[in-house]
Homo-oligomer: A and B are copies of this chain.
């Protein structure tokens, strides 16, 4: 029987634990989000973050700018949020408008408030296997593996996607866990050659139904990081209905990696709060 990896359940447990931890704090942790423009997916994500933070006792503040805002103003905002002791985490909702230098802007965030783990400081910490704030999506994936006792040691692991947000940090983390890791991407020829051999397959492309039944090994574990929105309906990179019986375990979309990403954002925020208040 195929086991459905229930990210909703795991994330719920994490959030319940966080809620209890927060109740013991002397003040409420607070997350500030800077959103620029009105990308429709961003709108959905920001609302979700507002809802989820509030639910577990985290204060939420949204600073929203029109897309023609001067970068200088964003810069000043980040600087003042860095200084503001009531703010424990700062998140720049990506994507920023394409004319902006997202990397430069992200790196203005004080690393101790960098809940997304996207500053250079935290990227290097992760590579050096030091105590880093880990980007929420790969962090959530690793938590799922732990929860379901999916041991990647000595395993053939394949990642589809080489982004700095998911593919590459995931590759680093899985190598640290002694997996043998192959990274495929849009320029890979004969993708099936690789996916067919994967004990654990991670896919993060955003191409609907890229992974079909013939492309996977029997009893593989499938972690679907893809998000495709069509007529308000979500689907992943995996042709779930046709594939799932062939796997040993699989994440659905929605309800797999997605809820974990938001749970790990909350987790990171609580870690930031603790560090800033020396509660560790």
Contact = CB atoms under 8 A, between A and B. Distances in A.
Copies of this chain held together in the complex:
2
A183 interface: yes
A189 B120 CA distance: 33
A185 interface: yes
Interface residues of A, number: 26
Contact of A124 (B124, B178, B185, B189): B124
Interface stretch (A13-21, A46-54, A164-172, A271-279): A164-172
Contacts of A124: 120, 123-124
B103 A128 contact: yes
A188 interface: yes
Given A162-B175, A171-B171, A182 B185 contact: no
A268 B188 CA distance: 32
Interface in A115-138: 120-121, 123-124, 127-128
A253 interface: no
A181 interface: yes
A146 to B, nearest CB: 18
Contacts of A103: 128
B180 A181 contact: no
A82 to B, nearest CB: 20
A117 to B, nearest CB: 13
A164 B123 contact: no
Contacts of A153: 187
B120 A187 contact: no
Contacts of A189: 154, 180
A184 interface: yes
Nearest to A103: B128
Interface in A143-171: 153-154, 162, 164, 168, 171
11 contacts: A103-B128, A120-B124, A124-B124, A128-B164, A154-B187, A162-B175, A168-B175, A180-B184, A180-B185, A180-B189, A182-B182
